[in-house]
Amino acid sequence: MQMKLDKWNIAIGDGAPLVVMAGLNVLEDETLALEVCAELKSICADLGLPYIFKASFDKANRSSVTSYRGPGQADGLAMLTKVKATHNVPIVTDLHTPEQAEPVAAIADVVQLPAFLVRQTDLVVAAAEAVGAQQGWLHVKKAQFLAPWDCANIITKAREVAPDIQIILCERGTSFGYNNLIVDMLGIAEMKKLGVPVTMDATHAVQLPGADPRTTNAQGGSASTGGRREGVPVLAKAAVAAGANGVFLEFHPEPDSALCDAPSCLPLSGARDLLSQLKLLHDAVS
């Protein structure tokens, strides 16, 4: 099936172009957000790929209370509003509490439910109602502990309060513990059987939860999440070959200096090459 963001003339689903949701992991400052958006929008325009700028205003799920979380809701939404107006692009960002649903949906054309929170009924209901009222998309990260077919319950819950809600499911790996995530590409087809488009979050799927060798906590373990950025293109290409309708990627001009999840972030200089390859793969599969 296909879904549309009518005001942006963007469609996602089988038969539609590959949708690119890409940007920063978390907002650091307005200048950087504008720079990254400008570059990625230009690349996607050249390739004929629909583009949606992504960045979080708050990263609530952190390994340590000292980890950088972002500018917060008020300043972050203001930054996203500036990016949206300056570059004339749709926005995707996540939320963490029911109270955030309406203000976030008023600015973000695509509202994202974080993987760890997709079973929180109050949050799912609030997000579905707010997104439905704005005629946007609800981007649902598949929880690390859910089987692909179990996402049916999330879809049903959202549609009980917003029958016409447009939902996208996002694969981001499965956790079996031991500081690792595993991606089963067969899950993409299983989620598409639920009648919704599916994207691949290749950036977060290469995380090594609680396993960044660069940081140490008081007990001698890691104080933050590690990652394997070299695996991002592998998973993105595999997912597109498996039928994913969109990709979710994070870039930074200096990825090692990114304030959040640096080990999983790709260099902005490599965006054109990767997105070109993904377009070719999507065209071949389609």
Pairing of strands 19-26, 51-56: parallel
Residues near 67 by Cβ (< 8 Å), separated by ≥ 6?
A: 59, 223, 224, 260
| Helix, strand, coil percent content, the chain, rounded in steps of 5 | 45, 20, 35
Are the C-beta atoms of 93 and 253 separated by less than 8 Å?
no
Residue 13 CA to residue 226 CA, distance in Å, equals 32
Main-chain dihedrals φ then ψ at residue 45, nearest 5 degrees: -65, -45
The one catalytic residue among 41, 54, 59, 141: 59
Question: How is residue 256 annotated by DSSP?
Answer: G
The reply to whether 245 belongs to the active site is: no
The one catalytic residue among 58, 109, 212, 261: 261
The reply to whether 59 belongs to the active site is: yes
Measured N-to-C along each axis, helices 30-47 and 271-285 cross at an angle, to the nearest 10 degrees, of 40
Question: How is residue 61 annotated by DSSP?
Answer: -
The reply to whether 193 belongs to the active site is: no
DSSP H or E stretch at residue 190: helix 186-192
Pairing of strands 246-252, 266-267: parallel
| Nearest-5° Cα angle at 92, 89 to 93 | 135
Which residues have a catalytic role annotated?
25, 59, 261
